[in-house]
C-alpha cells in the first residue's frame, strides 16, 4: 500500500471513529486569519467521564490552541503536513491521534481518558497492556466484529462431552462476550468434528485432564480469530456439577476479546485461578474504554498512524492460565 493510500485509510478510520454532527468551532487561542490556502481543525473534547474539558492544550504541527469552557477548539494551518495531534490536560491521559494535513475538519470529537474514578490507570495497563505479567506495552487487540464460536463437543479421544458441561460452556461464551466487549451476542455452533481456525471464529476445544500442573485453560489474545482450550476437571469449585465452571470459560473469553491477566481479586481475569471470582463492574468499565480505541492503540493512549490490520494476521499470542 502506498504512503498516500495508507494515509487515506487512516483518515477514513478516524472519520468513522470521531465524526459528529456539524459544529461551530469557537474560541481559537492561536492560528492565523483565514486565507484561501488555509485549512481548519476544529471540534470538541469530551472525556470518558462524559464531561467537556476546558483549558486542555491541543497541538498539531507546531500550532497550539486550548479548549474553551465547552471543550471546543480550533486550529488553522497553511502547511498541509500530516501528523499527530496531541491533547493534554492534568486531568486527562495524554491523547494522540493522527490527522491528514491539508483537509479541513470541523467535526472532531476527542474522547480522552479522564483520570478520575472509576478509571484506574494501573488496572487498565494490566488488562489492556499486559503490565502484570508482560511489558505493559501491548497494543489494543480488541475485536472489530462480533466473534463466532465453534465448540468441539468431543474430547481428543473422540468421547462425547456431557450436556451439562457443554451448557455451561455456552453460558460462559455468551456471558464472556457481554462482559468483555460491547459487541453483539455471539453466534455459537457445536459439533463433534474439529475445525481449523478461521477469520471471525474462535474454536473452543475441551480436553480431559491428564496430569497435575496442566492449566485451567489457554487462549489466544485478541482477534479477529483465535482458539480457546479448556481443561476439564482441572479447576472445579465446590458445588459445581459441570466439568467446566462458567467463570473459567469467561476468563478465557476475556483473553480472546483482547485482555490480559490482572493481579487484583476477585476479578474474573485475576490469577492464579481460584474459586470465588466474579465479573466485576471494574473489569467491564475498563473493557469499554479499550473498545472505544482502534486496534493498535498504544500506551498511554496513542492511535496508530495507519489502518492497523487485524492482529490475526500476525502470529497469535497465547496465554496460559494456571491454578
Binding interface with Zn ion (CB under 5 A)? 321
- Supply the minimum distance, in Å, between the C-beta of residue 218 and Zn ion: 8
Q: Is 288 helix (H, G, I), strand (E, B) or coil?
A: helix
Q: Name which of 54 and 134 has its Cβ closer to Zn ion.
A: 134
- Supply the minimum distance, in Å, between the C-beta of residue 53 and Zn ion: 36
- Supply the minimum distance, in Å, between the C-beta of residue 213 and Zn ion: 16
Q: Name which of 82 and 229 has its Cβ closer to Zn ion.
A: 229
Tell me the chain's radius of gyration from C-alpha atoms: 23
Q: Name which of 58 and 321 has its Cβ closer to Zn ion.
A: 321
CB atoms within 10 A of CB 273: 19
- Supply the minimum distance, in Å, between the C-beta of residue 271 and Zn ion: 6
Q: Name which of 60 and 132 has its Cβ closer to Zn ion.
A: 132
- Collect all residues with Cβ–Cβ distance below 8 Å to 54 and sequence separation of at least 6: 67, 68, 69, 70, 71
- Supply the minimum distance, in Å, between the C-beta of residue 261 and Zn ion: 5
- Supply the minimum distance, in Å, between the C-beta of residue 236 and Zn ion: 16
Phi, psi of 23 (to 5 degrees): -140, 165
- Supply the minimum distance, in Å, between the C-beta of residue 140 and Zn ion: 18
Q: Name which of 47 and 321 has its Cβ closer to Zn ion.
A: 321
- Collect all residues with Cβ–Cβ distance below 8 Å to 66 and sequence separation of at least 6: 29, 55, 56, 57, 58, 73
DSSP letter for 3, please. Answer: H
Q: Name which of 93 and 319 has its Cβ closer to Zn ion.
A: 319
- Collect all residues with Cβ–Cβ distance below 8 Å to 98 and sequence separation of at least 6: 10, 14, 82, 83, 84, 85, 303, 304, 305
- Supply the minimum distance, in Å, between the C-beta of residue 126 and Zn ion: 12
Position of cell 472489530?
144
Residue 186 backbone class (left: φ over 0; alpha: ψ -120 to 50; beta: rest): beta
Distance separating alpha carbons of residues 42 and 67, to the nearest angstrom: 10
Position of cell 482502534?
294
Q: Name which of 228 and 295 has its Cβ closer to Zn ion.
A: 228
Residue with the shortest CB distance to Zn ion: 321
Q: Name which of 235 and 321 has its Cβ closer to Zn ion.
A: 321
List b or e across 202-211, with b for residues whose CB sees 16 or more CB atoms inside 10 angstroms. Answer: bbbbbbeeee
| The three three-digit cell numbers of residue 238, written as one number | 465446590
Amino acid at each position: 500500500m502506498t504512503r498516500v493510500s495508507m494515509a487515506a485509510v487512516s483518515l477514513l478510520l478516524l472519520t468513522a471513529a470521531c465524526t459528529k454532527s456539524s459544529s461551530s468551532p469557537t474560541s481559537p487561542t492561536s492560528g492565523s486569519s483565514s486565507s484561501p490556502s488555509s485549512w481548519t481543525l476544529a471540534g470538541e473534547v469530551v472525556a470518558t467521564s462524559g464531561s467537556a474539558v476546558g483549558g486542555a492544550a491541543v497541538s498539531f504541527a507546531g500550532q497550539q490552541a486550548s479548549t474553551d469552557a465547552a471543550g471546543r477548539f480550533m486550529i488553522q494551518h497553511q502547511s498541509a503536513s500530516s501528523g499527530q495531534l496531541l491533547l493534554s490536560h492534568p486531568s486527562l491521559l495524554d491523547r494522540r491521534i493522527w490527522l491528514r494535513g491539508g483537509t479541513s475538519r470541523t467535526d472532531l470529537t476527542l474522547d480522552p481518558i479522564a483520570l478520575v474514578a472509576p478509571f484506574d490507570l494501573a488496572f487498565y495497563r494490566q488488562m489492556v497492556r499486559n503490565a502484570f505479567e508482560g511489558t505493559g506495552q501491548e497494543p489494543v487487540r480488541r475485536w472489530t466484529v462480533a466473534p463466532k464460536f465453534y465448540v468441539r463437543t468431543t474430547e481428543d479421544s473422540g468421547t462425547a462431552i456431557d450436556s451439562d458441561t457443554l451448557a455451561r460452556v455456552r453460558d460462559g461464551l455468551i456471558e464472556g462476550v457481554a462482559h468483555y466487549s460491547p459487541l453483539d451476542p455471539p453466534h455459537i455452533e457445536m459439533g463433534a468434528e474439529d475445525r481449523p481456525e478461521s477469520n471471525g471464529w474462535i474454536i473452543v476445544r475441551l480436553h480431559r485432564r491428564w496430569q497435575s500442573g496442566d492449566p485451567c485453560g489457554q487462549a489466544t489474545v485478541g482477534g479477529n480469530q483465535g482458539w480457546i482450550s479448556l481443561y476439564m476437571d482441572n479447576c472445579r469449585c465446590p458445588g459445581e456439577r459441570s466439568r467446566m465452571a462458567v467463570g473459567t470459560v469467561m476468563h478465557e473469553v476475556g483473553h480472546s476479546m483482547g485482555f490480559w491477566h490482572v493481579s487484583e481479586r476477585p476479578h474474573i481475569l485475576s490469577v492464579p485461578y481460584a474459586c470465588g471470582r466474579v465479573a466485576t463492574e471494574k473489569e467491564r468499565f475498563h473493557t469499554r474504554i479499550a473498545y472505544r480505541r482502534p486496534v493498535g492503540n498504544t500506551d498511554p493512549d496513542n492511535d496508530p498512524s495507519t489502518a492497523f490490520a487485524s492482529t490475526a494476521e500476525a502470529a497469535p499470542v497465547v496465554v496460559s492460565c494456571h491454578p
